[in-house]
Amino acid sequence: MKTLKPLNGNQTIAEAVRQVDIDVVAAYPITPSTAIVETIAQFKADGLIKGEFVCPESEHSAMSVCIGAAAAGGRVMTATSAQGLALMWEMLYIAAGLRLPIVAAIVNRALSAPINIHGDHSDTMGARDSGWIQIYSENCQEAYDNFIQAFRIAEHPDVRTPVLVGLDGFIISHSTEIVEIEDDEEVRRFVGEYLPIYPLLDTSRRFTVGSIDFTDYYFEHKRSQIEGIENSPRVIEQIGQEFGQKFGRYYSFFEAYHLDDAELVIVVMSSAAGTCKEAIDELREEGLKIGLLKPRVFRPFPYQKIAEALKDKLAVAVLDRSSSPGAFGAPLFTEIRSALYDYEKRPKIINYIYGLGGRDIKVEHFKEVAQNLVRIATTGKIDSHVGYLNLRE
């Protein structure tokens, strides 16, 4: 039976792990994702999780264990943050290249230096070309829902690609909300039984995993890997609809908030979208036609759907919680600007970098963005394509 529980983001991920019936959990604790690992360990000690819990000597080793367990035919997950994800870098590419449906909870945290333990997206954005599907969560409920769906997406026979689910460090991971936790058996039925393809423990067939691959077939194998992530949009949308039909909360590639009649749009992911909604409501009361587009799926990037949603707007501000030093704008901005390139009629578009190292973004900051959008829509001029929000210059 569905229950309402006061849980923080880390606890919601652990609840989902308990319900999904994982075969192997391999993780090394790192702030602010430590409580995920601790709670799972407690579940294991209490007999609430049947699968194996492995705590290796590093995050690199944790992903290595996940790769081995997934290749053997297990349903596998891990959790980490920031430097932990960076230490997995080599293994992320191997997991994706081997088409292993591993699911990872990434509690987004700034990468050093300087040392910082608070939330931004520099960790997952650094991994954006590793071949993993990337889904982002606005709140604890979405973190729980996204993590459950991630297994269906990763394990789909047309996808067979690892998935990471991001939730903002401390802002979501340590903030308690009332979360709808679904019935254990209903979640297990939704996720279904995992049917591995070519598991190493199947000795009835002969095959090779992780062989050397020089100029003869490497290119073809990478193209095959890309096919999995390119097949995933249909699966992501289908599973988001099925989840909604079963549990009442529907998901797609992005959320549109007051977008239909909007002339001005703010694009922002994850927890900041909740604050942006408050600003949108206040600005609407003042008569400003402004809306929000909140991307949920960053990889594969739904460029056509986002471009169609934005093409007729007057001005758009894209907010990134990460930077891309040396590039023309930050990751989300460059994706959206590129998506709009082929449209003859397209909005003026600007980029704000915000919230690095967990710096607050408040309603007044979104109103500041809105004021700039009004000026751009009125004059048709952009003074600077890339700016910084709530920064001491």
The pLDDT score that the predictor gives to residue 364 is 98
Tens digits of per-residue pLDDT, 312-357? 999 999 999 999 999 999 999 999 999 999 999 999 999 999 999 9
- Residue 232: pLDDT band by 50, 70, 90 thresholds? very high
The pLDDT score that the predictor gives to residue 54 is 97
Distance CA 239, CA 198 (A): 24
Distance CA 270, CA 295 (A): 8
Task: Give just the sign of the alpha carbon dihedral 374, 375, 381, 386.
Answer: negative
Say which DSSP state 200 is in: T
The pLDDT score that the predictor gives to residue 211 is 87
Q: Does pLDDT of 207 surpass 90?
A: no
Domain with CATH 3.40.50.920 in the chain: 254-388
The pLDDT score that the predictor gives to residue 3 is 98
Amino acid, res. 290: I
Percent of the chain with pLDDT over 70: 100
Strands 133-136, 163-168: pairing is parallel
In the 3-class helix/strand/coil scheme, how is 111-169 assigned residue by residue? CCCCCCCCCCCHHHHHCCCCCCEEEECCCHHHHHHHHHHHHHHHHCCCCCCCEEEEEEC
Domain with CATH 3.40.50.970 in the chain: 3-247
Contact 72, 24 (CB under 8 A): no
Tens digits of per-residue pLDDT, 344-354? 999 999 999 99
Quote the tokens at residue 281: 């409501």
Tens digits of per-residue pLDDT, 277-291? 999 999 999 999 999
Distance CA 361, CA 298 (A): 21
- Residue 242: pLDDT band by 50, 70, 90 thresholds? very high
The pLDDT score that the predictor gives to residue 52 is 97
Superfamily of domain 3-247: Thiamin diphosphate (ThDP)-binding fold, Pyr/PP domains (3.40.50.970)
- Residue 194: pLDDT band by 50, 70, 90 thresholds? very high
The pLDDT score that the predictor gives to residue 188 is 98
The pLDDT score that the predictor gives to residue 217 is 94
Say which DSSP state 198 is in: S
The pLDDT score that the predictor gives to residue 70 is 98
Quote the tokens at residue 392: 């001491």
Tens digits of per-residue pLDDT, 7-26? 999 999 999 999 998 999 99
Distance CA 105, CA 103 (A): 7
Contact 16, 68 (CB under 8 A): no
Residues 6+ apart with CB under 8 A from 222: 97
- Per-residue pLDDT, averaged over 155-173, amounts to 98
CB atoms within 10 A of CB 122: 24
- Helix 184-191 × helix 140-155 angle, to 10°: 40
Quote the tokens at residue 14: 């652990």
Distance CA 166, CA 296 (A): 10
The CATH number of domain 254-388, selected from 3.40.50.720, 3.40.50.300, 3.30.56.10, 3.40.50.920: 3.40.50.920
* φ, ψ (nearest 5 deg) of residue 110: -65, 145
- Per-residue pLDDT, averaged over 59-84, amounts to 98
Contact 113, 137 (CB under 8 A): no
Secondary structure element (H or E) that encloses residue 247, with its range: helix 218-247
Mean predicted lDDT score pLDDT of the chain: 97
Quote the tokens at residue 99: 């088409």
* φ, ψ (nearest 5 deg) of residue 249: -125, 110
Residues 6+ apart with CB under 8 A from 354: 272, 319, 320, 321, 361, 365, 388, 389, 390
Q: Does pLDDT of 210 surpass 90?
A: no
Q: How many CA atoms lie within 13 A of 247 on its CB side?
A: 31
The pLDDT score that the predictor gives to residue 137 is 98
The pLDDT score that the predictor gives to residue 282 is 98
The pLDDT score that the predictor gives to residue 1 is 85
The pLDDT score that the predictor gives to residue 393 is 79
What beta strand segments (E) does the chain contain? Answer: 3-8, 24-26, 52-54, 76-80, 103-108, 133-136, 163-168, 176-181, 254-257, 264-267, 290-295, 297-299, 315-320, 348-353, 386-388
- Per-residue pLDDT, averaged over 360-389, amounts to 98
Which of 102-116, 197-211, 267-281, 319-333 has the least mean pLDDT? Answer: 197-211
Q: How far is CA 104 from the centre of its chain?
A: 10
